[in-house]
Amino acid sequence: MKSIEWLGDALRILNQSKLPAEIVYRDAVSYESVAEAIENMEVRGAPAIGAAVAYGFVLGALEYQGDLDGLPAFMERVQARLAETRPTAVNLFWALRRMEDRLRECWDMDDIEDVRKVLIEEAGRIAEDDRRMNRLIGEQGKEIIPEKANILTHCNAGALATVEYGTALGVIRAAHEAGKKIHVYADETRPLLQGARLTALELIEENISVTLIADNMAGYLMQQGKVDLVIVGADRIAANGDTANKIGTYSVAVLAHAHGIPFYVAAPTSTIDLKVATGQEIPIEERPAKEMRECFGVPVAPEGVQVYNPAFDVTPAKYITGIITEKGIVSAPYSVNLLKLMVRS
């Protein structure tokens, strides 16, 4: 299953909010349609969101009907609309910046079709870079996966969270493809159940051994000695290594630390945001109360109950054993080693 697919004049989006019960696609032909798909979490996952907004930017340029002089002002509105969809995953803003930079390089062009071609090519490079980086993350990360390891993961950092292959699940895939007999414990990941609905689906489809657990079972599993290491994805990594990821990741990290279990983050370097000194500066998205009060349309709480629904939390760097990227695995002190990594070719 692909999270997104460029059709040449539309972006095919797999509606992940319907999985695993239904396979439903949206063929987006407007930037507004892409924005809505991101806000509704039809497409989600930091790298997948990055590639989706890149093509959303392209669709904006394809929609534009005016002359070339008016394109910059129109594209500023497109950028603003896409940028307001979700605040935490830095890949969204990194991809938009790449598209804006390419558009600025087109000012001397006099044919809008040439500009559109440049933007389509750039969005294609963003998607292809993600495919390539995830496999490199897998190759780097599989070396830290022991034979017969029991691995716990949280949320979905798989093919569905990226353009292809996944980051945390990319490492798990690479270890499996290398013949390691691993077993995965997948946290269901309330409230939207990305672990139950997406991670379990991806792993079962590829015959990777997986057990689904409720989020509140992770500690008990560790206490029984059934977890050898934890590996998760990331939405934004601060310069000091503090990492924002799906809500509940911090709890898993503290539990792993208490039990002496290695805790790894897998992410492309496009998720590292050196402009953010610590995790305290990372904006944490709060999502609609409905997502807590209902479970896919079925009420699970009284209609009037107050709700707190942060979509992410921040794991302090001291709980992170290593950060697995396409350029290599870094460990503490992250403020030094992440900087070195980012300048490494």
Applying CB under 6 A, which of residues 14, 31, 47, 57 lies at the interface with ligand LNRAV4D5?
Answer: 47
Under the criterion CB under 6 A, does residue 252 sit at the interface with ligand LNRAV4D5? Answer: no
Applying CB under 6 A, which of residues 3, 79, 150, 194 lies at the interface with ligand LNRAV4D5?
Answer: 194
Under the criterion CB under 6 A, does residue 151 sit at the interface with ligand LNRAV4D5? Answer: no
Write the DSSP string, 32-55.
HHHHHHHHTTSS-SHHHHHHHHHH
Q: Which residue is closest to ligand LNRAV4D5 by CB?
A: 233
Angle at 247 between CA 244 and CA 249, to 5 degrees: 70
57 vs 312 by CB, closer to ligand LNRAV4D5: 312
The residues with which 283 forms a beta bridge, in sequence order, are none
Active site annotation includes 114:
no
Contact 242, 317 (CB under 8 A): yes
102 vs 197 by CB, closer to ligand LNRAV4D5: 197
Does residue 198 sit in helix, strand or coil?
helix
Residues 6+ apart with CB under 8 A from 224: none
Under the criterion CB under 6 A, does residue 157 sit at the interface with ligand LNRAV4D5? Answer: yes
- 């290398």: which residue's tokens? 178
- Give the binding range for ligand LNRAV4D5 (CB under 6 A) out of 7-15, 42-50, 93-101, 223-231: 42-50
Longest dimension (CA), the chain: 67
Is 138 marked within a binding site?
no
Q: Cβ of residue 233: shortest distance to ligand LNRAV4D5, in angstroms?
A: 3
C-alpha closest to that of 155 among 267, 234, 211: 234
Contact residues for ligand LNRAV4D5 (CB under 6 A)? 44-47, 155, 157, 161-162, 167, 194, 232-235, 245-246, 311
